[in-house]
Every structure is written in structure tokens, then in C-alpha cells.
């Protein structure tokens, strides 16, 4: 049996929902988003470990003005989460806890406008030109059910991230806080790269008859 400790590498992908916390309330609808990317992890024999990800992650919000008119902004990021991990369970199946930090760099912005505004449909958010911080950092955490079959590691994850960097420049007269909030369900597949140690066989010589 392969030990659960050691080095592993793989990929993850998932689906979730995104919104932003605005200090001045903005009427929103949560937006479906996705993420996927590379996973590298290391775990010791005491069930503690560290995991590094390189992910394509979406963060988004949709401002709802009325039943027929809304504006949606989706920002695509390259994200670098660094997570501490702790396993509760045995070598084949376990619950894994995650907690750590992430740094995100924006790639591009996709916008969607649907409906026709009225004179009463005004916003505190400046959409044109859309000026925003192109990097973000924050906290993240979650849990996963893990199953190991030989060298193959499978995980079903529930992960939450909270941005700590404002999307927009602080403005006491309008938007003072603009912090991202994401919730994802991910599937992860990894391959253990730990080598199994070979057991040396020793021969026992029987005493010769005199």
C-alpha cells in the first residue's frame, strides 16, 4: 500500500458562485463562475502538509437594477493559493482540512449588459471606463473528502475564498469596500510520486549436519 505522506501533483477544476461585498449596499445576484488548474502538494507522516495551486479563477458580480435590467462584470484571474492541510482519517479515505492565503493577478474583464435602463436606474459603480485593481489577495479555506486508490488521489472539495484587497479605489462618497467572495465545489485528481521502498529479503542458512 502507498503511504499517504509524500509528494503529489495533479489538477483540479470546479464550479461555484461569486459576488462582492460592497460597504454601500449594491443589489446583486450571485454569478456562476469556474476555476481550474495545477495542484502540487506535500504531506508528512503526521498528517500535516502544504498545497500550492496555479489556477485560472473567475470573480464576478451582477448589479440588478430592476427585473429586466442588470450589469454583470466577470474578471478572469491567474490565482496562486498557498494552503496548509491537515488529514483526519486513514490511508485510503480521509477528511482533509485546508486554510491559507491567495494572490491573484487579473488577465481580462468580460462585461454583460442586459435590458434597457430607465432614468431611475443609476449606480454608484463606474462602469465606463471600468477602473479596477488588477491584483488581489485574500484568505481561503475549506474541506475535502479524499479517496486513495494505489498511487491515485481523488478529492471532492468545498472551498471558500474571501478577498482582502478592494476591487475599486476607496471612495467615502460611494463605494468604500469592494471585496470578492467565492464559493467553489472542485474535483481534484493527483498522482503520488513517492517511491515505495523495497523490502530486502534475507536468506537463512540452515546448520549443516555434522
Q: Tens of pLDDT along 122-150? A: 888 888 888 899 999 999 999 999 999 99
Q: Across the strands, what pairs with 153? A: 148, 190
- Nearest to residue 63, comparing CAs of 17, 119, 127? 127
Cα dihedral: 184, 188, 194, 195 (round 10): 170
The domain ranges of the chain are 6-115+125-192
How far apart, in whole angstroms, are the C-alpha atoms of residue 123 and residue 63?
9
* Beta carbons within 10 angstroms of residue 162's beta carbon: 14
* Beta carbons within 10 angstroms of residue 149's beta carbon: 9
Whether cis (ω within 30° of 0) applies to the bond prior to 104 is no
Report residues of the chain scoring pLDDT below 50.
1-3, 199
How far apart, in whole angstroms, are the C-alpha atoms of residue 169 and residue 88?
42
How far apart, in whole angstroms, are the C-alpha atoms of residue 143 and residue 64?
32
Within the chain, strands assigned E span: 6-22, 28-29, 31-43, 48-64, 70-89, 93-114, 135-149, 152-163, 178-192
pLDDT at 1: 37
| pTM for the predicted model, two decimal places | 0.84
The CATH classification of domain 6-115+125-192, taken from the options 2.60.40.420, 3.40.50.300, 2.40.160.20, 3.30.70.260: 2.40.160.20
pLDDT at 36: 98
Q: What is the DSSP letter of 85?
A: E
pLDDT at 176: 78
In whole angstroms, how far apart are CA 4 and each of 49, 90, 112? Answer: 11, 9, 45
Looking up cell 477528511, which residue turns up?
A: 95
How far apart, in whole angstroms, are the C-alpha atoms of residue 84 and residue 49?
6
pLDDT at 202: 56
Amino acid at each position: 500500500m502507498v503511504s499517504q505522506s509524500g509528494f503529489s501533483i495533479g489538477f483540479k477544476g470546479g464550479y461555484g458562485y461569486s459576488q462582492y461585498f460592497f460597504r454601500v449596499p449594491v443589489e446583486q445576484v450571485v454569478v456562476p463562475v469556474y476555476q481550474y488548474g495545477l495542484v502540487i502538494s506535500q504531506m508528512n507522516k503526521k498528517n500535516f502538509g502544504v498545497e500550492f495551486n496555479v489556477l485560472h479563477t473567475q470573480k464576478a458580480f451582477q448589479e440588478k437594477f430592476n427585473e429586466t435590467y442588470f450589469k454583470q462584470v466577470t474578471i478572469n484571474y491567474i490565482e496562486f493559493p498557498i494552503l496548509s492541510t491537515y488529514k483526519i482519517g486513514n490511508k485510503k479515505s480521509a477528511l482533509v482540512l485546508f486554510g491559507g492565503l491567495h494572490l491573484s493577478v487579473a488577465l481580462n474583464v468580460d462585461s454583460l449588459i442586459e435590458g434597457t435602463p430607465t432614468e431611475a436606474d443609476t449606480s454608484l459603480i463606474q462602469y465606463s471606463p471600468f477602473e479596477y485593481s488588477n491584483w488581489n489577495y485574500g484568505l481561503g479555506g475549506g474541506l475535502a473528502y479524499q479517496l486513495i486508490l494505489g498511487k491515485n488521489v481523488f478529492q471532492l472539495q468545498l472551498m471558500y475564498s474571501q478577498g482582502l484587497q478592494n476591487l475599486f479605489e476607496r471612495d467615502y462618497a460611494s463605494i468604500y469596500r469592494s471585496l470578492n467572495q467565492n464559493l467553489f465545489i472542485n474535483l481534484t485528481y493527483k498522482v503520488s510520486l513517492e517511491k515505495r521502498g523495497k523490502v530486502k529479503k534475507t536468506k537463512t542458512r540452515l546448520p549443516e549436519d555434522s
